[in-house]
């Protein structure tokens, strides 16, 4: 039997953010018409990931984190839910880093009106987990291959350089303009922090673009194959 896809996002109190994530999940459903796709959350919203994983029993399940980097929610919340399922569930890597997301960021930069020579700050939510910073730096490396200008990294929270400081540093280095590339999925708290960073231009969040849905599908299919063979 085909495993259930559990699309697990952080959760947000932002209505626009909820709408964007729900639209992303619906795009995934359209790309996988023969797969049951369920939504779950690690904070703020319901249903919680543990409850959704339990509710899929006895079917196998693949949890795809609708998160851009490794961190507490992937290592603790999602990992706990999968472990409690006793081998019937697995979790994929977060969505980033991924070349398709770098393509989308480059598109967002063009849409915002970025010009050659503008400095780009890849503006991420951030985490206290060092693995999250590694993921974001890898994403910045992919983005550098796609833009004409310097790319640095800034974080809204957690460890690492704050977004506003990264913007100021790029401007001090002589950039004619500084653009904050929003490396967040949806509107909400972190998108608001990025908007207040002092950048000359700020790109739109990534969801619910088709490319994000394609990354979700790719993550699911790779993890579902061994579960399907074992069924």
Which residues, 6 or more positions from 224, have their beta carbon under 8 angstroms from its beta carbon? 2, 3, 5, 60, 62
Residues 47 and 103 in one domain: no
- The pLDDT-based confidence of 108 (bands split at 50, 70, 90) is very high
The domain that holds 128 is classified in CATH as 3.40.50.1400
Kindly tell me the sign of the dihedral angle through the C-alpha atoms of 147, 104, 124, 167: positive
pLDDT digits (tens, 9 = 90+) for 160-208: 999 999 999 999 999 999 999 999 999 999 999 999 999 999 999 999 9
Q: For residue 229, what pLDDT is reported?
A: 57
Q: In this predicted model, what pLDDT tens digit does every residue of 147-163 receive, in sequence order?
A: 999 999 999 998 899 99
pTM of the model: 0.95
CB distance 151 to 140 below 8 Å: yes
Q: Same domain, yes or no, for 182 and 226? A: no
Range of the domain at 138: 99-202
Q: 117 and 192 in one domain? A: yes
Q: What was the pLDDT predicted at 230?
A: 54
| Domain shared by 81 and 113, yes or no | no
Which residues have a Cβ under 8 Å from the Cβ of 173 and sit 6 or more positions away?
A: 119, 150
Judge if 185 and 134 occupy the same domain. Answer: yes
Q: What is the number of structural domains in the chain? A: 2
């Amino acid at each position: 039997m085909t495993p259930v896809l559990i699309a697990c996002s952080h959760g947000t109190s932002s209505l626009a953010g909820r709408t964007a994530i729900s639209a992303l999940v619906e795009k995934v459903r359209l790309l996988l018409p023969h797969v049951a796709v369920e939504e779950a959350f690690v904070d703020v919203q319901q249903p919680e990931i543990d409850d959704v994983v339990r509710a899929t029993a006895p079917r196998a399940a693949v949890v795809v984190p609708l998160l851009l980097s490794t961190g507490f929610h992937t290592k603790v919340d999602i990992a706990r839910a999968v472990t409690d399922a006793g081998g019937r569930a697995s979790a994929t890597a977060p969505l980033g880093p991924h070349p398709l997301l770098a393509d989308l960021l480059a598109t967002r930069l063009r849409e915002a009106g970025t010009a050659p020579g503008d400095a780009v700050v890849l503006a991420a939510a951030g985490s206290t987990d060092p693995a999250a910073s590694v993921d974001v730096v890898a994403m910045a490396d992919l983005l550098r291959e796609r833009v004409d200008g310097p790319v640095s990294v800034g974080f809204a929270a957690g460890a690492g350089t704050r977004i506003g400081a990264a913007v100021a540093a790029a401007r001090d280095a002589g950039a004619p303009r500084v653009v904050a590339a929003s490396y967040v999925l949806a509107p909400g708290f972190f998108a608001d922090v990025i908007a207040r960073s002092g950048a000359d231009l700020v790109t739109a969040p990534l969801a619910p673009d088709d490319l994000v849905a394609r990354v979700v599908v790719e993550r699911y299919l790779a993890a579902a194959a061994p579960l399907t063979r074992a069924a």
